[in-house]
Chains A and B, each alone.
Chain A
Amino acid sequence: MPPGSSQRKEQSAGLVRLLGVTKMYTQPDHYDIRVLDDIHFEIHPGEFIALLGPSGSGKSTLLRIITGLSHPSYGTVLYRGQPVVGPNPHAAMVFQSFALYPWLSVQQNVELGLVAQGVAPDIRQKRAIELIDLIGLNGYEDAFPKELSGGMRQRVGFARALAVDPELLCMDEPFSALDFLTAENLRSELLDLWLESRIPTRAILMVTHGIEEAVYMADRIVILSKNPARIVADLPNLLPFPRNRKSAEFVQMVDQVYKIVTGWDEQKDTTPVNDEPFKATSDEGGRQLKPIPYGHISMLSGLLELVADRGGQDDLYRLGAELFLEVDDLLPVTETAELFQLAEVREGDLILTELGHSFVEQDVNDRKSIVRQQLKDVPMLRMITRVLRTKANHAMNKEFFTDILEEHFSVDEAERQLTTAINWGRFADLFHYDTDTEQLYLDEDQTEDPLPVASNES
């Protein structure tokens, strides 16, 4: 390394520095959706960082900004003190979907980064073979990706990224497309390579939604919130290697992270008003629509029944592990349960409420009426039913609602929100939806507001 750059390194210490990185997506109607909000953090040489957050929190976007694949709307990314413009040649990326080129052999895939650097054919061939050996794929040089198993494909993905001797290795959920055993195997192998310094990589940044995975591998865990993403916690993970998942310290660490991941939402819910960095909400007053979680009713019922069988309270982390659900899949369901006041999350535990207990005991029609009652307090559903009731023919095109939602959410998010709302509304018999005409409508018994019906306890 030239002396100048090492001096600079000492000055700024960090390999990568993020200064107030903010990312907005401009909607067609010029409404800006803020995905990342004022992110500051630093990656030091020698660190293995796990970036943890719920899906849709923008953690992948953040990773792409760090590697230079995407640009921040505001703020800067510095790499060794230099602003990053365009793809960073010192960083390499490993993808969740492997992103291998199906028409290139394993060897050609691994060589690709070296081809880009203009390395002579015989040198890059040697280098690629070394890496294929290192990653345990010798003998498969001439195979095509479609002939390999998932785990072997991701090995090629690692070899390709490592072939260019990256200082910063970025991984976007590298193990989540693999089955459990393969992922475990690959994790420990990568960890060995890293801990024994057999790869020249100076720092690793891994995006993941697996809390256990983060605690198992990383020595620093950065937790992001959602809508927009901010850093809610930045924890050192000092557990000694090799880490044992069964050890008390490990379980305690996982629990701690779980609490933070499941708890930030609670904080935000209780203090929605003093959120001053938000865009000026004052002029919109109470018209801000709150997003609803994408909880499936059938999953909700199943989860509540399970918890009821266990005495109405269970540890979320254990539930997730038993059901083979990542926190990402579990959270929307628990959030839905909380929204419907059927359960609450406290200290990483899911606790059924009284209403939750009666929900579990009753048959499907009573469940429907409970949900119907609860949906009255959800602003989005209230808005939809109000529109349908006040309209003379009690029918409205779906686009009307999509347009409204797009003022609050991104286009994709608006679509997902409305789909969930329609699912809930259909389940609760609040309104009907005709897929062919793309219309929401009420039939006769839905048109009047059944307000007088009191809380549903029988």
Chain B
Amino acid sequence: MNDARERPGVGMADVLVGASILALISVVIAWATHAHPYTAESGHISLVWWHLPLDAVYSWLRMLAAYVISLIFTLVYAYLAAFNSRAEKILIPLLDMLQSIPVLSFLPVVLLAFVALFPGSRIGVNLASIVLIFTGQVWNMVFAVYHGFITVPRDLRESALSLNLSPWQRFRSLELPYAMVGLVWNSMMSWAGGWFFLMAAEMFSLGNHAYQLQGLGSYLQTAANQGRWGAELAGLITLVLVIVLMDQLIWRPLLAWADKFKMEMVEGADRPRSTVLRILRRSLILDWLGRIVWTPLTEWSDRLFSATLPRIRTHATVASTVGLIRWLIVAFVVVVIVTALQGAYRLISQLTSGEVEIVALATMATLGRVVAALLISVVWTVPVGVFIGLNRKWAARLTPVSQIAASVPATALFPGLVALLIHLRGGLNVASVVLMVLGTQWYILFNVIAGASAIPEDLREATRMFRLTRSKTWTVLILPAIAPFLITGIITAAGGAWNASIVAEYVSFHSHVYTAFGVGAIIARSSQNHGFSVLLLATGTLAVTVVAINRLVWRRLYNKAADRYSVS
């Protein structure tokens, strides 16, 4: 234990430093890949088809950079929240708030900050785009990993302690593996979310400046604006191709690999399989990498983060340094909060009562749209989802199809749909509901399928034995059994619908801007016109509404349903 004494206080600090270094590297990569060849200013997005692969690569790299940052942020944030009870009290409510603030509200602030940081260069715009995607990706990942960290079974934690694993060893051999399944699933969801905001994150205007980044999103947007349907279709096909490739080459192997981290003690009947992973595993490449890279790396990291740690915390000098750092953090947070409050106050004081009234009304209008979108989604997904879930054969056939359909970001389809729907009565006011449905129905569908396929066979047989009528079967068995799943789906879908309102209520197409009356449109418009006081108000109203509805309606409903109708 002597070596432990030589390296006091290794732990979170090192993790943080390591994380910042990694972040720095990814920034440099982002800069290197984006800085040179395409420095096209606004309006110079080329629609020639052979640019498409390159565009796809650019978009993908941007998403990758955002994902890497999300991953590092997730691990650090979730670790702090899970294992530092003082930090938990702040971090978890903060997370709840942050995730209900719509991504696109961040845009002007983020953009201004980064453009100011890198004047006259495209790095700032690229970084802004990456940070935007990051803000859309990160929250569900943090929640999943945090949840994983705090639910590590007590006996596993105790066995790690009694074997004297260091905190780092506990992290790499217990906590992270335990959270891995959730992390992989949520990474998939986050990428899907990233594609959803791709167009918004690659082309934006602020005041009278238009910023465009070379990428698939800009390509699609430009094609739609110019009404070039051939190019639009080619772009869509490329996008679907990228998504399918990622699914086959990355997500499926990852899911099959993550299956070993499930806590089940019996081998599940239908566990995820992946041909790619099987080939990799048999090819000796993984074996070789394990021996040459992974084992030395873990040995090295174990030594770096040193053995047996907990006792050292009490060491006086360390304690005082930790105390000092803590005070610095507190002071920093206080300064930030005060400055932010001051700024907010200055902005709010510029508001007129008319603006406040409009924002309130617009929020109600958007709320109405969200509810309508959810209703439409529920009406069609429940029968279809139950049908798929109850029929194993159909489930096997339809699930991959619906997964691909779901992964096509609705935003990419918006322009085409707008062209069709804009002539409806009510214009975008009605069409935006359809756009929201398009973006959110999948969450409900997949949850309903999961719920229906979880109905135990014996309960279904019992209903058949009693010769219950079809309607009775629905009210007695099916609806109660899928209720918790349905509500989970609706909660996620509602969050998505609120977020989608910004893109659905404000659509630019054929160099014409169509807007609907709603808080999403207000946010989109005010962010482009430097109307920061209205933007702040609208974003705040939206966030508060979402949080309030979550707390007052959904969470209660969910607890009730989980309590009463869980089939176990």
Contacts and interface: CB of A to CB of B under 8 A. Distances in A.
- Chain B interface residue count: which class? 20 to 34
Given A86-B311, A87-B162, A102-B265, A116 B155 contact: no
A102 B303 contact: no
B165 interface: yes
B265 A145 contact: yes
Contacts of A221: none
Contacts of A87: 161-162, 164
Interface in B141-175: 153, 155-156, 158-159, 161-166, 169, 173-174
A107 B303 CA distance: 21
A116 B163 contact: yes
Interface in A89-106: 89, 91-93, 95-97, 99, 101-104
B72 to A, nearest CB: 22
A146 B264 contact: yes
B311 A102 contact: no
A159 interface: no
B163 A144 contact: no
A89 B163 CA distance: 7
Contacts of A202: none
Interface stretch (B92-100, B206-214, B255-263): B255-263
Contacts of A95: 155, 158-159
Contact of A116 (B158, B169, B310): B169
A interface majority secondary structure = loop
Q: Which of B165, B311, B564 has the most CB of A within 10 A?
A: B165
Contact of B162 (A92, A97, A103): A92
Contact of B163 (A92, A102, A145): A92
B13 interface: no
Nearest to B311: A86
Contact of B302 (A102, A115, A164): A115
B261 A146 contact: no
B301 to A, nearest CB: 12
Q: Which of A97, A102, A117 has the most CB of B within 10 A?
A: A102
Nearest to B261: A103
Interface string B310-330: 110000000000000000000
A164 B163 contact: yes
B108 interface: no
B267 interface: yes
A88 B520 CA distance: 59
A97 B153 CA distance: 11
A113 interface: yes
A254 interface: no
B262 A102 contact: yes
B299 interface: yes
A113 B163 contact: yes
Contacts of A96: 155
Contacts of B177: 101, 103
A160 B160 CA distance: 11
A97 B261 CA distance: 17
A104 B173 CA distance: 9
Residue of B153, B155, B266 with most chain A CB atoms under a 10 A cut-off: B155
B295 interface: yes
B267 A146 contact: yes
Contacts of B162: 67, 69, 87, 91-93
B310 A64 contact: no
A85 interface: yes
Interface in A159-192: 160, 164
B497 interface: no
A99 B303 contact: no
B307 interface: yes
Q: What size tier do the contact residues of chain A reach?
A: 20 to 34
B267 A99 contact: no
A69 B261 contact: no
A309 interface: no
A118 interface: yes
B159 A99 contact: yes
A124 B44 CA distance: 62
A145 B262 CA distance: 12
Given A95-B158, A118-B302, A160-B163, A102 B173 contact: no
B171 to A, nearest CB: 13
B303 A101 contact: no
A433 to B, nearest CB: 15
B158 A93 contact: yes
Nearest to A102: B263
A112 interface: yes
Interface string B239-272: 0000000000000000000001111111100000
Given A103-B260, A145-B265, A118 B161 contact: no
A86 B159 contact: no
Nearest to A85: B311
B154 to A, nearest CB: 9
A147 interface: yes
Looking at B163, B169, B307, which has the most chain A CB atoms within 10 Å of its CB?
A: B163
Contact of B164 (A99, A103, A104, A117): A117
B265 A112 contact: no
A418 to B, nearest CB: 17
A113 B163 CA distance: 5
Q: Which 6 A-B pairs have the closest CB atoms?
A: A99-B159, A99-B155, A113-B163, A93-B162, A116-B165, A116-B164
Interface of A: 64, 67, 69, 85-87, 89, 91-93, 95-97, 99, 101-104, 112-113, 115-118, 121, 144-147, 160, 164, 436
16 contacts: A85-B311, A87-B164, A91-B162, A99-B156, A101-B177, A102-B260, A102-B263, A103-B180, A103-B261, A112-B163, A115-B302, A117-B307, A144-B260, A146-B267, A147-B267, A164-B163
